[in-house]
Amino acid sequence: MRRFCSVLLCLSFLLGMVSCSTTNASEPSVEDKYVIGFSQVGSESDWRLANTKSMTSTFAGDDEYELVIENARQIQENQFSAVRKFILEGVDFIIIAPTVEEGWQNVLTEVRDANIPVILLDRSVAVDDDSLYLTNIGSDFSKQGKLAIDWLEKESEFQKNRHPDEDHTVQILHLQGTIGATAQIQRTKALEDAINTHSEWEMVGQLYGDFTEAKAYEVMTDYLKTNKNIDVIYSENDNMTFGAMRALDEAGITYGTNGQVKIITFDATREALQYCLDGKISLCVECNPMFGPSVKELIEKYRRGESIPKHVYVDETAYTTYELTQDIVDGREY
Ligand code: GZL
Protein backbone atom coordinates (compact mmCIF):
# COMPACT_ATOMS: atom_id res chain seq x y z
CA MET A 1 0.00 0.00 0.00
CA ARG A 2 1.15 3.62 -0.55
CA ARG A 3 2.40 4.51 2.96
CA PHE A 4 1.77 8.28 2.74
CA CYS A 5 -1.72 7.95 1.32
CA SER A 6 -2.69 5.18 3.73
CA VAL A 7 -1.57 7.26 6.74
CA LEU A 8 -3.57 10.25 5.43
CA LEU A 9 -6.58 8.05 4.78
CA CYS A 10 -6.34 6.48 8.23
CA LEU A 11 -6.13 9.93 9.84
CA SER A 12 -9.08 11.22 7.82
CA PHE A 13 -11.04 8.08 8.64
CA LEU A 14 -10.29 8.47 12.36
CA LEU A 15 -11.18 12.20 12.20
CA GLY A 16 -14.36 11.23 10.41
CA MET A 17 -15.13 8.77 13.19
CA VAL A 18 -14.59 11.48 15.83
CA SER A 19 -16.23 14.40 14.05
CA CYS A 20 -19.31 12.67 12.80
CA SER A 21 -20.16 9.61 14.87
CA THR A 22 -23.07 9.02 12.54
CA THR A 23 -20.51 8.30 9.75
CA ASN A 24 -21.89 5.51 7.64
CA ALA A 25 -20.09 2.46 9.06
CA SER A 26 -20.06 0.80 5.66
CA GLU A 27 -17.51 3.31 4.18
CA PRO A 28 -16.09 1.80 0.95
CA SER A 29 -12.91 -0.10 1.82
CA VAL A 30 -9.72 1.70 0.82
CA GLU A 31 -8.07 0.01 -2.14
CA ASP A 32 -5.07 -1.73 -0.60
CA LYS A 33 -2.42 -2.65 -3.18
CA TYR A 34 1.24 -3.53 -2.92
CA VAL A 35 2.70 -0.75 -5.06
CA ILE A 36 5.84 -1.36 -7.12
CA GLY A 37 7.66 1.54 -8.76
CA PHE A 38 9.56 0.36 -11.86
CA SER A 39 12.16 2.59 -13.55
CA GLN A 40 12.65 1.10 -17.04
CA VAL A 41 15.59 2.04 -19.34
CA GLY A 42 13.44 3.10 -22.28
CA SER A 43 11.96 1.68 -25.50
CA GLU A 44 15.21 1.49 -27.49
CA SER A 45 14.92 -2.10 -28.71
CA ASP A 46 12.60 -5.04 -29.34
CA TRP A 47 14.27 -6.67 -26.35
CA ARG A 48 13.27 -3.76 -24.10
CA LEU A 49 9.68 -3.74 -25.36
CA ALA A 50 9.43 -7.48 -24.65
CA ASN A 51 10.91 -7.00 -21.19
CA THR A 52 8.41 -4.26 -20.37
CA LYS A 53 5.56 -6.43 -21.70
CA SER A 54 6.71 -9.34 -19.53
CA MET A 55 6.64 -7.11 -16.45
CA THR A 56 3.29 -5.47 -17.16
CA SER A 57 1.53 -8.73 -18.03
CA THR A 58 2.88 -10.40 -14.91
CA PHE A 59 1.51 -7.81 -12.49
CA ALA A 60 -1.56 -6.64 -14.44
CA GLY A 61 -3.12 -10.03 -13.85
CA ASP A 62 -2.89 -9.75 -10.05
CA ASP A 63 -5.22 -7.43 -8.07
CA GLU A 64 -2.85 -7.50 -5.11
CA TYR A 65 -0.23 -5.47 -7.02
CA GLU A 66 -0.02 -2.10 -8.73
CA LEU A 67 2.98 -1.65 -11.08
CA VAL A 68 3.90 1.98 -11.79
CA ILE A 69 6.32 2.19 -14.75
CA GLU A 70 8.45 5.23 -15.58
CA ASN A 71 10.20 5.12 -18.98
CA ALA A 72 13.60 6.88 -18.73
CA ARG A 73 14.10 7.16 -22.50
CA GLN A 74 17.71 5.92 -21.94
CA ILE A 75 18.53 8.98 -19.77
CA GLN A 76 19.91 8.14 -16.32
CA GLU A 77 18.81 11.48 -14.80
CA ASN A 78 15.22 10.51 -15.65
CA GLN A 79 15.74 7.35 -13.63
CA PHE A 80 16.99 9.29 -10.62
CA SER A 81 13.88 11.53 -10.80
CA ALA A 82 11.60 8.52 -11.11
CA VAL A 83 13.15 6.72 -8.13
CA ARG A 84 12.91 9.89 -5.97
CA LYS A 85 9.26 10.22 -6.99
CA PHE A 86 8.65 6.62 -5.94
CA ILE A 87 10.23 7.42 -2.54
CA LEU A 88 7.96 10.47 -2.08
CA GLU A 89 4.92 8.42 -3.03
CA GLY A 90 5.89 5.81 -0.43
CA VAL A 91 5.79 2.81 -2.78
CA ASP A 92 6.31 -0.60 -1.22
CA PHE A 93 9.01 -1.82 -3.62
CA ILE A 94 11.28 -0.36 -6.31
CA ILE A 95 12.60 -2.10 -9.43
CA ILE A 96 15.35 -0.46 -11.47
CA ALA A 97 16.67 -1.48 -14.89
CA PRO A 98 19.80 0.73 -14.86
CA THR A 99 20.74 2.52 -18.08
CA VAL A 100 24.41 2.45 -17.08
CA GLU A 101 26.37 1.05 -14.12
CA GLU A 102 27.95 4.24 -12.73
CA GLY A 103 26.28 6.98 -10.63
CA TRP A 104 23.82 4.99 -8.50
CA GLN A 105 25.41 5.25 -5.01
CA ASN A 106 23.50 8.34 -3.81
CA VAL A 107 20.01 7.54 -5.06
CA LEU A 108 20.22 3.91 -3.88
CA THR A 109 21.31 5.20 -0.46
CA GLU A 110 18.23 7.45 -0.40
CA VAL A 111 16.06 4.42 -1.19
CA ARG A 112 17.65 2.43 1.64
CA ASP A 113 17.16 5.38 4.03
CA ALA A 114 13.48 5.27 3.06
CA ASN A 115 13.41 1.54 3.93
CA ILE A 116 12.18 0.55 0.48
CA PRO A 117 13.58 -2.72 -0.98
CA VAL A 118 15.14 -2.64 -4.48
CA ILE A 119 15.60 -5.25 -7.18
CA LEU A 120 17.97 -4.49 -10.09
CA LEU A 121 16.58 -5.86 -13.32
CA ASP A 122 18.60 -6.73 -16.43
CA ARG A 123 21.76 -4.58 -16.17
CA SER A 124 23.67 -3.94 -12.95
CA VAL A 125 25.19 -1.03 -10.99
CA ALA A 126 28.72 -0.24 -9.78
CA VAL A 127 28.33 0.53 -6.03
CA ASP A 128 30.64 -0.05 -3.03
CA ASP A 129 27.94 -1.74 -1.01
CA ASP A 130 25.76 -4.40 -2.63
CA SER A 131 23.44 -4.37 0.39
CA LEU A 132 21.87 -1.35 -1.35
CA TYR A 133 19.82 -3.81 -3.42
CA LEU A 134 18.19 -7.18 -2.72
CA THR A 135 19.26 -8.90 -5.94
CA ASN A 136 20.12 -8.41 -9.61
CA ILE A 137 18.06 -10.56 -11.96
CA GLY A 138 19.17 -10.77 -15.58
CA SER A 139 21.57 -12.30 -18.05
CA ASP A 140 25.09 -13.56 -17.57
CA PHE A 141 26.57 -11.21 -20.18
CA SER A 142 30.04 -12.72 -19.84
CA LYS A 143 28.59 -16.11 -20.77
CA GLN A 144 26.85 -14.52 -23.75
CA GLY A 145 30.17 -13.06 -24.92
CA LYS A 146 31.85 -16.46 -24.48
CA LEU A 147 29.18 -18.17 -26.60
CA ALA A 148 29.88 -15.67 -29.40
CA ILE A 149 33.67 -16.00 -29.20
CA ASP A 150 33.54 -19.80 -29.00
CA TRP A 151 31.49 -19.86 -32.19
CA LEU A 152 33.84 -17.43 -33.98
CA GLU A 153 36.85 -19.55 -32.98
CA LYS A 154 35.23 -22.67 -34.44
CA GLU A 155 34.16 -20.79 -37.58
CA SER A 156 37.66 -19.37 -38.10
CA GLU A 157 39.22 -22.80 -37.64
CA PHE A 158 36.73 -24.29 -40.08
CA GLN A 159 37.56 -21.68 -42.72
CA LYS A 160 41.31 -22.16 -42.12
CA ASN A 161 41.02 -25.93 -42.67
CA ARG A 162 38.76 -25.45 -45.67
CA HIS A 163 41.05 -22.93 -47.39
CA PRO A 164 44.56 -23.68 -45.96
CA ASP A 165 46.34 -21.51 -48.52
CA GLU A 166 44.25 -18.34 -48.03
CA ASP A 167 45.00 -15.37 -45.77
CA HIS A 168 43.30 -16.08 -42.43
CA THR A 169 43.19 -12.59 -40.99
CA VAL A 170 39.70 -12.09 -39.51
CA GLN A 171 38.66 -8.43 -39.90
CA ILE A 172 36.07 -7.68 -37.23
CA LEU A 173 33.78 -4.62 -37.10
CA HIS A 174 32.35 -4.02 -33.61
CA LEU A 175 28.93 -2.37 -33.12
CA GLN A 176 28.66 -1.28 -29.47
CA GLY A 177 25.54 -0.69 -27.40
CA THR A 178 25.00 2.04 -24.81
CA ILE A 179 28.46 2.75 -23.37
CA GLY A 180 28.55 1.89 -19.66
CA ALA A 181 25.61 -0.51 -19.72
CA THR A 182 26.45 -3.92 -18.25
CA ALA A 183 25.45 -5.65 -21.49
CA GLN A 184 27.84 -3.43 -23.47
CA ILE A 185 30.70 -3.66 -20.95
CA GLN A 186 30.73 -7.44 -20.82
CA ARG A 187 29.95 -8.17 -24.46
CA THR A 188 32.72 -5.73 -25.45
CA LYS A 189 35.16 -7.28 -22.95
CA ALA A 190 34.61 -10.74 -24.43
CA LEU A 191 35.50 -9.50 -27.91
CA GLU A 192 38.45 -7.31 -26.89
CA ASP A 193 39.96 -10.10 -24.76
CA ALA A 194 39.59 -12.54 -27.66
CA ILE A 195 41.24 -10.15 -30.13
CA ASN A 196 44.16 -9.82 -27.73
CA THR A 197 44.64 -13.59 -27.74
CA HIS A 198 44.08 -14.30 -31.47
CA SER A 199 46.93 -12.80 -33.52
CA GLU A 200 45.00 -13.30 -36.78
CA TRP A 201 41.90 -11.42 -35.48
CA GLU A 202 41.89 -7.69 -36.25
CA MET A 203 39.42 -5.05 -34.97
CA VAL A 204 38.89 -2.88 -38.06
CA GLY A 205 36.45 -0.53 -36.30
CA GLN A 206 34.35 0.10 -33.15
CA LEU A 207 31.13 1.99 -33.89
CA TYR A 208 28.70 3.35 -31.27
CA GLY A 209 25.15 2.22 -32.03
CA ASP A 210 23.48 2.84 -28.62
CA PHE A 211 21.40 -0.37 -29.01
CA THR A 212 19.17 1.33 -31.61
CA GLU A 213 18.55 0.50 -35.28
CA ALA A 214 18.60 4.14 -36.36
CA LYS A 215 21.97 4.96 -34.80
CA ALA A 216 23.55 1.74 -36.10
CA TYR A 217 22.30 2.45 -39.64
CA GLU A 218 23.73 5.97 -39.43
CA VAL A 219 27.22 4.97 -38.22
CA MET A 220 27.42 1.94 -40.52
CA THR A 221 26.42 3.99 -43.58
CA ASP A 222 29.13 6.50 -42.76
CA TYR A 223 31.75 3.80 -42.07
CA LEU A 224 31.06 1.91 -45.31
CA LYS A 225 31.75 5.03 -47.39
CA THR A 226 35.50 4.47 -46.80
CA ASN A 227 35.80 0.90 -45.48
CA LYS A 228 34.57 -2.30 -47.05
CA ASN A 229 37.09 -4.89 -45.79
CA ILE A 230 34.95 -6.64 -43.18
CA ASP A 231 34.77 -10.38 -42.48
CA VAL A 232 32.71 -10.31 -39.26
CA ILE A 233 30.27 -7.87 -37.64
CA TYR A 234 30.00 -8.35 -33.86
CA SER A 235 26.80 -6.44 -33.05
CA GLU A 236 25.75 -6.09 -29.41
CA ASN A 237 22.02 -6.27 -30.11
CA ASP A 238 19.55 -7.22 -32.84
CA ASN A 239 18.21 -3.74 -33.52
CA MET A 240 21.70 -2.46 -34.31
CA THR A 241 22.15 -5.54 -36.51
CA PHE A 242 19.02 -4.67 -38.49
CA GLY A 243 20.37 -1.16 -39.06
CA ALA A 244 23.73 -2.59 -40.14
CA MET A 245 22.08 -5.03 -42.56
CA ARG A 246 20.22 -2.15 -44.21
CA ALA A 247 23.51 -0.23 -44.62
CA LEU A 248 25.29 -3.33 -46.01
CA ASP A 249 22.49 -3.84 -48.54
CA GLU A 250 22.76 -0.23 -49.70
CA ALA A 251 26.56 -0.55 -49.99
CA GLY A 252 26.21 -3.78 -52.00
CA ILE A 253 28.09 -5.88 -49.44
CA THR A 254 26.82 -9.44 -49.04
CA TYR A 255 26.43 -11.22 -45.73
CA GLY A 256 25.27 -14.56 -44.35
CA THR A 257 26.01 -18.17 -45.28
CA ASN A 258 27.39 -17.42 -48.75
CA GLY A 259 28.18 -13.75 -48.17
CA GLN A 260 31.34 -11.75 -47.50
CA VAL A 261 30.37 -10.83 -43.93
CA LYS A 262 29.40 -13.14 -41.04
CA ILE A 263 27.08 -11.43 -38.54
CA ILE A 264 27.03 -12.19 -34.82
CA THR A 265 24.14 -10.60 -32.94
CA PHE A 266 22.80 -10.58 -29.34
CA ASP A 267 19.18 -10.88 -28.12
CA ALA A 268 17.82 -13.55 -30.54
CA THR A 269 14.47 -11.86 -31.13
CA ARG A 270 12.06 -13.59 -33.50
CA GLU A 271 13.05 -11.30 -36.40
CA ALA A 272 16.75 -12.05 -35.88
CA LEU A 273 16.07 -15.78 -35.62
CA GLN A 274 14.20 -15.64 -38.92
CA TYR A 275 17.20 -13.99 -40.58
CA CYS A 276 19.37 -16.69 -38.99
CA LEU A 277 17.13 -19.50 -40.27
CA ASP A 278 17.27 -17.86 -43.71
CA GLY A 279 21.10 -17.80 -43.56
CA LYS A 280 21.43 -14.00 -43.36
CA ILE A 281 22.70 -13.86 -39.75
CA SER A 282 25.33 -16.41 -38.72
CA LEU A 283 24.92 -16.48 -34.92
CA CYS A 284 22.13 -15.29 -32.60
CA VAL A 285 23.18 -15.20 -28.92
CA GLU A 286 20.06 -15.33 -26.78
CA CYS A 287 19.30 -12.66 -24.19
CA ASN A 288 16.00 -13.54 -22.55
CA PRO A 289 13.81 -10.56 -21.52
CA MET A 290 10.82 -12.61 -20.35
CA PHE A 291 11.54 -12.66 -16.63
CA GLY A 292 8.54 -10.77 -15.23
CA PRO A 293 7.23 -13.92 -13.47
CA SER A 294 10.64 -14.51 -11.88
CA VAL A 295 10.69 -10.94 -10.58
CA LYS A 296 7.27 -11.44 -9.00
CA GLU A 297 8.45 -14.68 -7.36
CA LEU A 298 11.43 -12.82 -5.88
CA ILE A 299 9.20 -10.07 -4.47
CA GLU A 300 6.91 -12.67 -2.90
CA LYS A 301 9.89 -14.50 -1.40
CA TYR A 302 10.99 -11.16 0.10
CA ARG A 303 7.49 -10.52 1.49
CA ARG A 304 7.52 -13.96 3.11
CA GLY A 305 10.85 -13.13 4.73
CA GLU A 306 12.73 -15.76 2.71
CA SER A 307 16.37 -15.30 1.65
CA ILE A 308 17.13 -14.20 -1.92
CA PRO A 309 20.42 -14.82 -3.82
CA LYS A 310 22.42 -11.72 -4.78
CA HIS A 311 22.27 -12.61 -8.46
CA VAL A 312 19.59 -14.53 -10.36
CA TYR A 313 20.59 -15.50 -13.92
CA VAL A 314 18.09 -16.32 -16.66
CA ASP A 315 18.73 -19.38 -18.86
CA GLU A 316 20.05 -18.60 -22.35
CA THR A 317 21.71 -20.25 -25.37
CA ALA A 318 22.86 -19.39 -28.91
CA TYR A 319 21.50 -20.33 -32.33
CA THR A 320 22.96 -20.82 -35.79
CA THR A 321 20.87 -21.72 -38.80
CA TYR A 322 21.54 -25.39 -38.06
CA GLU A 323 19.75 -25.36 -34.66
CA LEU A 324 16.73 -23.50 -35.93
CA THR A 325 13.43 -24.65 -37.46
CA GLN A 326 10.50 -22.53 -38.63
CA ASP A 327 8.50 -23.85 -35.66
CA ILE A 328 11.13 -22.58 -33.21
CA VAL A 329 11.09 -19.15 -34.86
CA ASP A 330 7.29 -18.96 -35.09
CA GLY A 331 6.97 -20.04 -31.46
CA ARG A 332 9.28 -17.30 -30.21
CA GLU A 333 7.66 -15.23 -27.41
CA TYR A 334 9.54 -12.05 -28.41
C1 GZL B 1 20.42 -6.87 -22.30
C2 GZL B 1 19.82 -5.51 -22.41
C3 GZL B 1 20.17 -4.89 -23.70
C4 GZL B 1 19.69 -5.70 -24.90
C5 GZL B 1 19.36 -4.60 -25.84
O6 GZL B 1 20.00 -7.48 -21.14
O7 GZL B 1 20.31 -4.66 -21.38
O8 GZL B 1 19.54 -3.63 -23.76
O9 GZL B 1 20.64 -6.59 -25.40
C10 GZL B 1 18.69 -3.61 -24.91
O11 GZL B 1 18.51 -4.95 -26.89
O12 GZL B 1 18.62 -2.36 -25.46
- Residue 44 CA: nearest ligand 1 atom is 12
Measure 254 CA to ligand 1 centroid, in angstroms: 26
Given a contact cutoff of 8 angstroms between Cβ atoms, the answer to whether 177 and 183 are in contact is yes
Measure 176 CA to ligand 1 centroid, in angstroms: 11
Ligand 1 test: best mutation among 79, 122, 239, 285, most atoms within 8 Å of CB?
122
Lining ligand 1 with CB less than 6 A are 44-45, 47-48, 122-123, 138-139, 181, 183, 211, 237, 266-267, 287
In the chain, which stretches have pLDDT less than 70? 1-30
Q: Please state, in angstroms and rounded to a whole number, the distance separating the CA atoms of residues 158 and 153.
A: 9
Residue nearest to atom 2 of ligand 1 (CA): 183
Measure 289 CA to ligand 1 centroid, in angstroms: 8
pLDDT digits over 170-207, tens only? Answer: 999 999 999 999 999 999 999 999 999 999 999 999 99
The whole-number pLDDT of residue 113 equals 98
The whole-number pLDDT of residue 28 equals 32
pTM above 0.85, yes or no: yes
Ligand 1 test: best mutation among 49, 79, 267, most atoms within 8 Å of CB?
267
The whole-number pLDDT of residue 12 equals 45
The whole-number pLDDT of residue 203 equals 97
The whole-number pLDDT of residue 162 equals 80
The whole-number pLDDT of residue 16 equals 43
* DSSP characters over 67-106: EEEEE-TT-HHHHHHHHHHHHHHT-SEEEE--SSSTT-HH
Measure 332 CA to ligand 1 centroid, in angstroms: 17
Q: Please state, in angstroms and rounded to a whole number, the distance separating the CA atoms of residues 269 and 204.
A: 27
